[in-house]
Amino acid sequence: MYNPFQNFTFDQKTCFLSGEKLVCPEDEQINVFPLWLMQRYQLEDKPFKLLDESICTYKQLKLPCSTAVSVKLDELETEINTAFSAGFEAVRALEPLRLFQWIAKMVYGMVFNEIRSGIKQQAISGEAMNFSQVLAHKFTNLHLMLQSLLLPVEFDGGQPFYIGVYKVANPDEAYNYRDEINTLVFSFRANDFGIIACLQDNKANSVFHREVLAKVANHELHPVQFEELCARFFYSAYLFNRLPEYTVVQTDEAVYIEPMPLTAISSKPVFDPWQVKTYGQVLENFWKPWGFLLFEIIKDPENPMTFLLDDQGEFLPSQKIALAKY
């Protein structure tokens, strides 16, 4: 299996996923964001800000990719595009691993481009590249799992990621993409659905939120409700204090990936304490379209504002929410 972090290989002459040397690097490239997605939501020429504050467009974000890998990705994109066009039921019916591969390719694509940008900055400044070993560990595992696109991979002990698909009463033009590469959490909202993904937490975040997830299950969400759910996941992913470890065994038949128990890594709680004010700041950001401010959200610190639950702690039907849909 290929590990680009072993020799820090992030050039344009090596396939990002397989490690193959490319024959014509100028021609062997793919978009980080699939062409069908960019065209459907008019994203191609929209600005995209990288972590170093540099600006590019969506269509300028590329990955060096061999023909063999490109064929596999084309098959994946056709499958995802068909489901996304059909809507919630078709997306929910997708194999979770296929959704993971689609999301992981975009998130890792962003990681690849951020690293490339950092390497350029390093060359300009003459300073040594200082890359976090914790992030290298996370991204190595993400890349390893993404290779399930090319190789038969068996996840012993369950899939080490969470993919939640929710029915959302979106307006026709809705499109909302978010990722946080440090915590490997992702959300996407379009058509009549929303997706929340934690790409490397061994499902710990979904367990953390199990009570509210049980209450929203099988209900259609107002966009403000889905964004609140996203805020909860993005904040808990920040509080998640484990660095998951995996046992990897490669045989002639398959690659076996088994997560080590999170409790074996440390005896302290898996999540740091929930701070209402910090959560309120996260929620304020997710609720920007509706204009709710932090002081409103945490006016009662014991009971921060919520549109997911009513005063009795039960699910609040989306039809009862008199807010615009963005």
Q: For 251-301, how does the pLDDT look when each residue is reduced to its tens digit (9 = 90+)? A: 999 999 999 999 877 788 999 999 999 999 999 999 999 999 999 999 999
pLDDT at 126: 78
- The yes-or-no verdict on residue 48 having pLDDT over 90 is no
Q: How far is CA 136 from CA 35, 84, 220, in A?
A: 28, 32, 38
Tell me what pLDDT residue 2 has.
Answer: 95
pLDDT score at 114? 92
CB 160 within 8 A of CB 145: yes
Q: How do residues 136-186 score in pLDDT, each as one tens digit?
A: 999 999 999 999 999 999 999 899 999 999 999 999 999 999 999 999 999
Is the pLDDT at 50 greater than 90? The verdict is: no
Are the CB atoms for 103 and 37 separated by under 8 Å?
no
Q: Name the band, by pLDDT with cuts 50, 70 and 90, for residue 64.
A: very high
How far apart are alpha carbons 165 and 196 in whole angstroms? 7
Average pLDDT of the chain? 95
pLDDT tens sequence across 114-131:
999 888 888 787 777 788
pLDDT band for 34, please (50, 70, 90 cuts).
very high
Contacting residues for 19 by C-beta, under 8 A, at least 6 apart: 2, 4, 9
pLDDT of residue 86 exceeding 90:
yes
Q: What is the average pLDDT across 47-60?
A: 86
pLDDT, average across residues 29-53: 92
Closest by alpha carbon to 230, among 278, 192, 195? 195
Q: State residue 124's pLDDT score.
A: 80
Instruction: Check residue 210 and give its pLDDT.
Output: 97
The pLDDT of 95-121, averaged and rounded, is: 94
pLDDT of the residue at 51: 78
The number of CA neighbours under 13 Å toward the Cβ of 254 is: 11
CA 259/CA 201 separation, integer angstroms:
10
Query: Which pLDDT value is given to residue 125?
Result: 78
What percentage of the chain reaches a pLDDT higher than 90?
88
Query: 322 pLDDT exceeds 90?
Result: yes
Instruction: Write out pLDDT tens, residues 187-204.
Output: 999 999 999 999 999 999
Q: Mean pLDDT across the stretch 10-34?
A: 95
Q: Which DSSP state fits 58?
A: G
pTM of the model: 0.95
Q: Which residues pair with 195 in a beta bridge?
A: 165, 188
What pLDDT sits at residue 88?
Answer: 98
Q: Computed from CA positions of residues 312, 313, 315, 321, in that sequence, does the dihedral angle turn out positive or negative? A: positive
